Amino acid sequence: MATAAAASASEAEAEPKAGPKAEGEEDEAKAARTRRKVLSRAVAAATYKTIGPEWDQQEEGVSESDGDEEYAMASSAESSPGEYEWEYDEEEEKNQLEIERLEEQLSINVYDYNCHVDLIRLLRLEGELTKVRMARQKMSEIFPLTEELWLEWLHDEISMALDGLDREHVYDLFEKAVKDYICPNIWLEYGQYSVGGIGQKGGLEKVRSVFERALSSVGLHMTKGLAIWEAYREFESAIVEAARLQAEAPRLAEYQAYIDFEMKIGDPARIQLIFERALVENCLVPDLWIRYSQYLDRQLKVKDLVLSVHSRAVRNCPWTVALWSRYLLAMERHGVDHRGISVTFEKALSAGFIQATDYVEIWQAYLDYLRRRVDFKQDSSKELEELRSAFARALEYLKQEVEERFNESGDPSCLIMQNWARIEARLCNNMQKARELWDSIMTKGNAKYANMWLEYYNLERAHGDTQHCRKALHRAVQCTSDYPEHVCEVLLTMERTEGTLEDWDIAVQKTETRLARVNEQRIKAAEKEAALAQQEEEKAEQRKRARAEKKALKKKKKTRGAEKNTVDEDDEKEWGDEEEEQPSKRRRLENSVPPTGEAERGPDADPGLVGVELPSKPKERVAAPRRDVPKVLHDSSKDGITVFVSNLPYSLEEPATVLRPLFEACGDVVEIRPIFSNRGDFRGYCYVEFKEEAAAQRALELDRKSVEGRPMFVSPCVDKSKNPDFKVFRYSTALEKHKLFISGLPFSCTREELEEICKAHGTVKDIRLVTNRAGKPKGLAYVEYENESQASQAVLKMDGMTVKENIIKVAISNPPQRKFPEKPEARKAPGGPLVPRQIYGARGKGRTQLSLLPRALQRPGAPAAQAENGPAPPPAGATPAATEAPKMSNADFAKLLLRK
C-alpha cells in the first residue's frame, strides 16, 4: 500500500513537468510573468545596495510577498494578535482530532504519502510552526517532495528567518530542494533569496554561484530556462548601474554629515557654500533652512545675508510656521522698520498653515514683538493701544478664521488671553481688565481645571488683594473637577495664615461639603463602571452558554444518529439469520490490525471494538509512568515553613528544577512538591518547604514574579478547613486613586514600552500586565503611580491615546466585587436538589455516554422544573419504576416497528 501511494504521488508530480504541447502558450505566458517578477526584484535589489543596511530588509520583504497568495493570507492570519482566539471553537477541535488521528496513522504506517501531506496542511493551518517543521522533515527523509511542497516550506522558513544563522538554514533547505527534481521555480526563488543577502560578507559571490549552478541545472529547460538567463543578466546589469549611481551627487544625509564636518573646522565661507549646495537639491526641507538660518543668526550676523536667507526660506517652505517666526525675530533683531515687520506678519497669516496651533504660534511671535515696542513707564501710548488692539484682533481672528477652518480653536488653554491678562496686571497695573480676561478664560471651559484657578490665584496674589484671592479660591472649590483636593488645601492654607475665624469656618464648611459631593460622584462613577463591567461579564457568560448549548445540540443530533444505527442493526439481526456472521463485521475483523494489548483483554473480547481501542493506547503508555509515582500528601504541621505556589505554566516539564533556584535565594529548601493530575499532567501549583520559617516569609516576596511569561502567586500555606475565610489571591476591590486600569493595549506591547509611556506623567512604582491562564497578554494592565495627583494627571493625558494603532482607555482602578462560589454545605443540605456531581459521580457525566432508548419509545413529557443548581427533585409519590422505561427485547422492538 505504501509503495502504491508513493508511486502514484511520483506520477502525479511527473505530469506537470512534461507539459503537453496544447498548453505551450499558457506555460510561456506564466514563464513571462515569472521572468518579469524576477527581473524587477533583481534590479531593485542591486539598486538598493547603495542605500545602506536597510536594503537587506527591503529586499527580503519583497521576496516574502512574491506569488503565493494563499501563503500570504495564512501568514497574516497567524501573525495578527487582534484576531487570535484563545478558546477553541468547533473547527479547531475538529482539526486537533484530525491531527491526532493522522499522527496515530503515521505511527502505524510511516509510508502513507497522503497522510503526510494532510498532516502538514493541518499543522500549518493551526499555526503549529515547530510541529509542521518536524512533519516536513520526516516526510522529506522518506519521500522526495514536489515543487509545490518545497516552495511552501521555503516560503514559511524565509518569513521566519531573522539573522545570519536562519539564513544559512534556508540555504540548506534550498540545497535539499534542488536535489529532488529539476525545478526551475525553486532555482529562481533560490537566486532571488540569495540576492537578499548580498550585503553580507561574500554575498555577491554567493549570488553568482547560485545563478551559475542554476544555469547548469535548468538553463536548457525548454519553457522555463529563459527566466534563469534573464534574471542573471538583469542582476549583473543592476550591479553595473549601482556602481554608476555611487558617483552621483550626495543626498541629504551625506550633506548633513558634510555640514557637521565643516562646522567643526569653522570656516564660514565653506560652511555657507555647503549649505547652499545642499539647499539646491533639498530646497523643500524645512529643517535644513532652519539650521542654515540659525547658523547665520548666531555666527555671521550679516544683515543682508541673514534677511535674504530668511526670505528665501519662507518662499520655499511657506507652510512652516517656525520659519516665519524666525524671520520676524531676525527682522526685529536687525532693526527693520515696524511697517516692514507688519507686512511680513500679514503674509504669514495668508501662508496657509496646516495646523490650528500654527496660527496661535505666529500670533504669539507678533504680539511679543509688539509688547517689546511699548514703553510701560507711560500711562498710555500709541504702541500700547496698538498692542491691545492686536490682542483683540488675535482673539477675533482665532475665533472667526481658525475655528471655521479647522473646527477647533487651536488655543484651548487661552494662552494668548493669559498673556494679555499678565501684561495688564504686571505692566499696566490694570487688575480690573485682567480680571475680566480671566472671567472670559473660565467661561471657555477652563473652570474645571485646578491649574487654571491657581494661575489666576497667583496673579491676584501678586498684583491684586486678599479679598479677590479669597473669592477666586471659593469659586475654584465649587468649579474644579480634576483636583478639588488641591484647591481646597490652598484655600485652607490661605485662611490659616491670613483669615479670621469666620473666614476659617466658612472655608472648612465649603471644602468639606465640596469634597463630600466629589466623593459621592466618584462612588457613583465607580458603581457605574462596575455595573458596566458586570454587564460585560454577563454578556460573556451568555455567549459562553450559547456556545455550550450549540455544542450540546450538535452532540444530541449525533447521539440520535447513533441510536438510529443501533436500532437498525438490532432489527436486522432479529429478522435475519442470527447464526450467520455478517459480512461487514467479518471483513472488519479480517482487515483489522490487533493492538498490543489484545492478549490482555482475553479471547472473549468483542472484535468490533478492536479498532476503537487503537487510538487511546499511545496516550495510555505516555501517561503510565506518572500514574505510578506515589502521591505525597501535605503535612499541615509544617504550614509555618511551607508556601503555596500557584498560577504556574502548565507546560513546565520539571517544575522543581525551574523553581528551586528562585526559592533557594530565600533560604534552604527542603523539598518542592509539584502536584500532577491522574494523567500525569502538571496542574500549575506546588508546595515549597523550607528549613526555617524566616525563609518562608522571605519567599512571600516572590509573589507576582514572572515565570516563563506568567505571574507566579506565592501565598502562605493555610488549612482551608480551619480557616475557611482565608483568601489566597489578594486582589483589591476598592477604589485605588493612585492606580490606573488600562485597556485596549496591543498584545505586542511590553512592560518596558508601557513604562516608557507612563513615566512621562509621574513616577511609576509598579506595572502589571494581565495575562490569561496560558500566559498570553489580554491587552489589559494596571499601573501604580506614586500618588493620586500623578495618576489623575495621567488619566487626562493618556485616555484615548494611540499605542501601536490601538486606541487605549485609561481610568482610575476600581475593580468590581468578585463572586465567590457557593459553599459545599449548601449543596449537601438534606432534601436539596442533586447537582450533576451527585448524579453522575465524582467525574460527572462522561462524554461518550449515549442514550440507547429507541425514538419509538421516547414519549414527550412535561418539561422538568429547573432548580437553581440542577434539575428539580421528582414530585412526591413518584417511584423509580414509574420513571424507568421497561426492559424490552429485540423482538419487542420489531413488533413496535411493525405496528407503524
> Does pLDDT of 883 surpass 60?
no
Domains of the chain (ranges plus CATH)? 88-244 (1.25.40.10), 254-462 (1.25.40), 637-714 (3.30.70.330), 737-810 (3.30.70.330)
The three-class DSSP label of residue 335 is coil
Which sign, positive or negative, has the C-alpha torsion 486, 488, 491, 492?
negative
Pick the range with the lowest mean pLDDT from 158-162, 424-428, 473-477, 666-670: 158-162
> Does pLDDT of 374 surpass 80?
yes
Instruction: Provide the greatest CA pair distance for the chain.
Output: 128
> Which pLDDT value is given to residue 738?
85
CA distance 817 to 822: 15
> Which pLDDT value is given to residue 734?
67
CA distance 577 to 842: 43
> Which pLDDT value is given to residue 848?
39
Q: Please give the residue that has the higher pLDDT: either 399 or 735.
A: 399
> Does pLDDT of 364 surpass 80?
yes
* Average confidence (pLDDT) over 50-54: 39
Q: In what order do the strands lie in the sheet with 682-690?
A: 669-676, 682-690, 642-646, 710-716, 705-707
Pick the range with the lowest mean pLDDT from 396-410, 480-494, 763-777, 863-877: 863-877
pTM of the entire predicted model:
0.40
Residue of 413, 366, 410, 412 whose CA lies nearest to 390: 366
Pick the range with the lowest mean pLDDT from 362-366, 522-526, 605-609: 605-609
> Which pLDDT value is given to residue 612?
35
> Does pLDDT of 751 surpass 50?
yes
Rounded to the nearest angstrom, the gap between the alpha carbon of residue 634 and the centroid of all alpha carbons in its chain is 41
Cell of 69: 497568495
What tens digit of pLDDT does each residue of 677-695 get?
A: 888 888 888 999 999 999 9
CA distance 494 to 469: 9
> Does pLDDT of 254 surpass 60?
yes
> Does pLDDT of 271 surpass 70?
yes
CA distance 488 to 507: 8
What tens digit of pLDDT does each residue of 91-117 get?
A: 888 888 888 888 888 888 888 889 989
Given a contact cutoff of 8 angstroms between Cβ atoms, the answer to whether 437 and 421 are in contact is yes
What tens digit of pLDDT does each residue of 545-562 get?
A: 898 888 888 888 777 766
Q: Please give the residue that has the higher pLDDT: either 468 or 32.
A: 468
- Percent of the chain residues past pLDDT 90, beyond the cut: 32
pLDDT band at 857 (very low <50, low <70, confident <90, very high): very low
> Does pLDDT of 576 surpass 50?
no
> Does pLDDT of 843 surpass 90?
no
Q: Which of 52-61, 144-153, 453-462, 845-854 has the highest mean pLDDT?
A: 453-462
What tens digit of pLDDT does each residue of 1-26 get?
A: 333 333 333 333 334 334 433 445 55
Q: How far apart are the first and last CA of the chain?
A: 48
Cell of 179: 536535489
Question: Mean pLDDT for the chain?
Answer: 76
pLDDT band at 703 (very low <50, low <70, confident <90, very high): confident
Residue of 460, 462, 486, 480 whose CA lies nearest to 472: 460
What tens digit of pLDDT does each residue of 424-458 get?
A: 999 999 999 999 999 999 998 899 999 999 999 99
> Which pLDDT value is given to residue 39?
44
Residue of 403, 548, 521 whose CA lies nearest to 90: 548
CA distance 453 to 475: 9
- Percent of the chain residues past pLDDT 70, beyond the cut: 70
Phi, psi of 44 (to 5 degrees): -65, -40
> Which pLDDT value is given to residue 581?
41
The conformation of residue 425, written as its DSSP 8-state character, comes to I
The conformation of residue 297, written as its DSSP 8-state character, comes to I
> Does pLDDT of 162 surpass 60?
yes
pLDDT band at 874 (very low <50, low <70, confident <90, very high): very low
> Does pLDDT of 371 surpass 90?
yes
> Does pLDDT of 711 surpass 50?
yes
pLDDT band at 218 (very low <50, low <70, confident <90, very high): confident
What tens digit of pLDDT does each residue of 288-312 get?
A: 999 999 999 999 899 999 999 999 9
Chain position carrying cell 495668508 = 350
> Does pLDDT of 891 surpass 70?
no
CA distance 338 to 276: 30
pLDDT band at 260 (very low <50, low <70, confident <90, very high): very high
> Which pLDDT value is given to residue 506?
94
* Average confidence (pLDDT) over 587-608: 38
* Average confidence (pLDDT) over 261-282: 91
CA distance 199 to 83: 36
CA distance 642 to 687: 7
CA distance 468 to 471: 5
